[in-house]
Structure 1
Amino acid sequence: MAESARFSLASEPLALGALDGRYRSAVAPLVDYLSEAALNRDRVHVEVEWLIHLTANSVLPGTAPLEDEQVAALRKIVTDFDGESVSELAEIEAVTVHDVKAVEYYIGRRLEAIGIGELKPLVHFGCTSEDINNLSYAVGIKGAVEDVWLPAARALVEQITKMAEETREVPMLSRTHGQPATPTTLGKELAVIAWRLARQLDRIGRTEFLGKINGATGTYAAHYASVPGADWQQVAKGFVEGLGLTWNPLTTQIESHDWQAELYADVARFNRILHNVCTDIWSYISIGYFAQIPVAGATGSSTMPHKVNPIRFENAEANLEISNGLLDTLAATLVTSRWQRDLTDSSSQRNIGTAFGHSLLAISNVAKGLDRLDVAEDVLAADLDTNWEVLGEAIQMVMRAEAIAGVDGMENPYERLKDLTRGHRVDAERMKEFVSSLGLSADAEARLLALTPGSYHGIAPALVDHLK
């Protein structure tokens, strides 16, 4: 059979992955921090700042601080970095077959025009590639987390917190092990979610982004061989901290990436909690606790017009799983390097943007999904009213308290409630009859007779205040 002819798309400028195609708009802010182009711009930034740092402190004999105009011109190399810069770097790298060496040459080409051509030997001075790479990744990841991912995650937690405040008084049947249990309020359950997510964001917000610039094996050997009179540890520490990072004083050729593993574990934990939120909201939608507000013109099902599918939460689940698959792999592999250096981290770290991209996309999906929910209070109330047996816990505990207080006839409270409620539906009338037959003190009987499944939720509404 002849093969069917088809047009090849390989030569077209099309995205291979969903993040650069279908979902580009949701993750676009990360491109300025975690793309390959952003990595190269940050490499240029680190190299330029190292040159400025060495001259500003006159670390090498024969150097002096640059003029303000020269410093501004050097930094303009970074701020002017654009698509043409990316292409030029690619052309240089095609010759060097080395990405960081290409950055060194790229900067060197521009020094004559700034009037400091004689400082070309100072570009990349004392550095191994990983000195530049570890700092560039740290700068990019820090920016992505602090400027993009954390604000989106915090906005989602604020959204859930607002929902918790608005629904703090709305009673809801709990389901432990999938079965009717002591009631709660919708607001309190949403507050639990907000509290859990906020704790993880607090941990992530306190991340230390480490960096080093200490040479081929972390010994400053080339530094002291060339300029033995400099205090290279202080030079390195001041430079790293000047980039907004935390100095790591003890490394091999690579910065050990432990901080990255810690960060990815925390982000993955946030993702897992959010995944749990998605499955719970999905389940509440399925039993009618939430109604989804239709989007005008949107199709829920291609064949069933009545349906509004909870696609935002389902899509978020998938993206959180993909994100965690990458984050878990990064956290597990980046902490290992053979002897003083191997290159496995070079390939691994190129997936950091993808990991954060899928998490950011999931956060966006959940926020949009929550925004299209209505609380079906009538459904929640009806569910409570058909489960009067959940008051069995309250009744038997009151009976225990009465027994301690010396009231006769309070023996075997658990067993008596089990006989009444297990495997049986108990309505309001039957429950009140049972309470009235127990011989409780007048006060205890009045309290139980006034109790309903909808009012039996303890201090649930007040617990929402812990979010303040």
Structure 2
Amino acid sequence: MAHDLYENPLNTRYASAEMSRLFSDQRKFSTWRRLWVILAEAEHEMGLPVSREQIEEMKAQVDNIDFQVAAAYEKKLRHDVMAHVHTFGDLCPGAMPIIHLGATSCYVTDNTDLILMREALELIARRLAVVIDALGKFATTHRELPCLGFTHLQPAQPTTVGKRATLWIYDLALDLAEIEHRIESLRARSVKGTTGTQASFLALFHGDHAKVRQLEAMVAERMGFSGSYAVTGQTYTRKVDAQIVDTLSGVAQSAHKLASDLRLLASRKEMEEPFEANQIGSSAMAYKRNPMRSERVCALARFVMSLQSSPAATLATQWMERTLDDSANRRLVIPQAFLGIDAVLLLLTNISSGLVVYPKTIAANLNAELPFMASENLMMAAVERGGDRQELHEVIRAHSQAAALDVKQEGKPNTLLERLRGEPAFAGVDLAAAMNPRDFVGRAPEQVDEFVADIIEPIRARYRSALGQETEGLKV
């Protein structure tokens, strides 16, 4: 590592080596060469003047890239694709006359981007499935554990720890469905020509439209795509990039919400992310157990969400058949969006597989608020014993307001039950029995079971092989 030059921390600190390699120069330019081989093979099979010997010469040099030579050519030619045509041609001089035959630069640049984004989306899908699986196990384990619910970040009707986890999982499951849709929707640019008219290929085949269509289908299939985009300009529509980065931003949004909830729960001492034996929470405050992984998730997710506007603006400004102001922007945005989400999901894998729950603190926090939430049940119990509903409501209202003031102004425990015990209207009502937290969580445990069966199990079935593999560790 060159310590006197800026290094992107997505590569050096956060994302996986697997994702970094995917967007590396070696992978990019060797894919260009494979595309030139695919084109040459298809042209050979369709009777164009491309020999088997030329193709074999190209195949032998696909991964042998001299980046210094390529840089020298680019400095001279001011064109990255032609620089690599010449660099490739130097290694296979017999094939030089037919390298890039009939193609425009976007044959290699756009098709390569589509191939790499497809593979990156598949990696993200597998990582998402791993997180969903781990959180699903967590939800099942804690399906019945009552906890205080929150609306407006104010105490609300109780839920369970497991049910709350399903809210996080469902967002991620929707993201996974969107990613799978994007993978399924991807097509090749294939061979469309300089402005998308295929004029150069029509000339090569002496006006035979059927052969041009056959070549396009053959190249797309050998790239691993089910077909090619119906029409293009010089590039495939940048709408595709915008849709993909929107989808990655969606993952970031879900991850940010999840990690934010964990940070709030950590502040209440109800849940914590994994904390290692020798981990330091603060350089000054030795007692601290800061939720640093969750905070990092939020930081990286925020970065990915901020990238969403660039592909949209790029799409909007692609004048006519294309403008080149997309190039530099895409080189920055697309790899970094994937690297950022890769890093987020690695963190979430670590967090979700080691979440720590503190049931007694959860119970204490719930019990402090439960009397207020039990007031309707208490009122109904008193009505059953012959009480007047309206009078009982007023008694509870007055005592609830007074108890709330004690809590807020005096720092006292919730005294609502003690106050009601002294009221004749509630004589004979078993106040303690009305305080069972499990009576307030409704169908939360059953909802967890149904969610796991209906949503998580199909994901587990689709990604069974991925779930059996060991995931990469964190860069810290």
TM-score range, shorter chain: 0.7 to 0.9
2:297 is matched with: 316
| 1:467 equivalenced with 2:458 (yes/no) | no
Deviation at 1:12, TM superposition (A): 5.6
Indicate if the aligned counterparts of 2:147 and 2:159 stay in contact, CA closer than 8 A: yes
Alignment of 1:396-407 (within 5 A): none
| 1:189-200 equivalences in 2 (<5 Å) | 189-200=164-175
Shift of 1:412: 8.4
Q: Share of identical aligned residues, percent?
A: 24
Shift of 1:237: 2.7
Counterpart code for 2:375: G
Structure 1 unaligned blocks of 5 or more: 1-8
* Residue equivalent to 1:229: 208
Matching residue's letter, 2:108: I
Instruction: Report if the CA contact (8 A) 1:130-1:253 is conserved.
Output: yes
Q: Distance in 2 between matches of 1:243 and 1:435?
A: 79
Aligned residues: 434
SS of the equivalent of 1:306 reads coil
Please show how residues 156-175 of structure 1 align to structure 2 within 5 Å.
156-175=131-150
Unmatched tracts of structure 2, length 5 or more: 405-413, 454-476
User: Which letter maps to 1:243?
Assistant: M
What corresponds to 2:115 in structure 1?
Answer: 139
Contact in 1 for aligned 2:245/2:307 (Cα 8 Å): no
Q: Which moved more, 1:212-221 or 1:182-191?
A: 212-221
How much does 1:138 deviate?
A: 0.4
Is this contact kept in 1: 2:144–2:160, CA < 8 A? yes
RMSD: 3.2
Worse overlay, 48-57 or 287-296: 287-296
Deviation at 1:178, TM superposition (A): 1.9
* Higher-RCO chain (CA-CA 8 Å, sequence separation at least 6): 2
For 1:124, the equivalent position in structure 2 comes to 100
- For 1:374, the equivalent position in structure 2 comes to 356
Name 2:74's counterpart in structure 1.
93
How far apart, CA to CA, are the structure 2 residues paired with 1:365 and 1:170?
25
Secondary structure of 2:224's counterpart equals: coil
- Give SS of 1:157's match: helix
Q: CA deviation at 1:91?
A: 3.0
Q: Deviations over 1:200-247 (max 9, x none)?
A: 111111212233221111111222233212521232133123312341
Q: Counterpart amino acid of 1:203?
A: E
1:355 to 298, 319, 337: 337
Structure 2: how far apart are the matches of 1:173 and 1:293? 22
2:366 is matched with: 384
Which of 243, 248, 253 is 2:234 aligned to?
253
Query: How far, CA to CA, are the matches of 2:117 and 2:4 in structure 1?
Result: 27
Distance 1:321 1:292, change over 3 A: closer
Q: In the TM superposition, what whole-angstrom CA distance separates every residue of 1:164-219 from its partner, at most 9, and x where no partner exists?
A: 11111111011211222110000000011111111111111121223322111111
In structure 1, the residue corresponding to 2:278 is in which secondary structure?
coil
**Pairing of 1:268-283 with structure 2 (within 5 A):** 268-283=249-264
* SS in structure 1 of the partner of residue 112 of structure 2: helix
**Where does residue 472 of structure 2 map in the other structure?**
none
For 1:188-227, list aligned pairs within 5 A. 188-207=163-182, 208-212=185-189, 213-227=191-205
Shift of 1:34: 1.7
Question: In 1, are the aligned partners of 2:273 and 2:293 still within 8 Å (CA)?
Answer: no
Match of 1:125, SS state, is coil
CA deviation after TM superposition for structure 1 residue 429, in Å? 3.9
Verify the 8 A CA contact 1:256 1:335 in the aligned structure 2.
no
2:29 aligned partner, one-letter code:
N
C-alpha displacement at 1:379, in angstroms?
Answer: 0.3
Does 2:7 align with 1:16?
yes
Shift of 1:159: 1.5
Residues 275 and 293 of structure 1: is their aligned pair in 2 closer, same or farther, counting only changes over 3 Å?
Answer: closer
CA distance in structure 2 between the aligned counterparts of 1:13 and 1:434, rounded to whole angstroms:
75
Q: Secondary structure at the match of 2:13?
A: coil
| Separation in structure 1 between the aligned mates of residue 375 and residue 170 of structure 2, nearest angstrom | 30
Distance 1:77 1:432 in 2: 86
Classify the secondary structure of the residue corresponding to 2:347.
Answer: helix
TM-score (norm 1): 0.83
Whole-angstrom distance in 1 between the partners of 2:401 and 2:160: 24
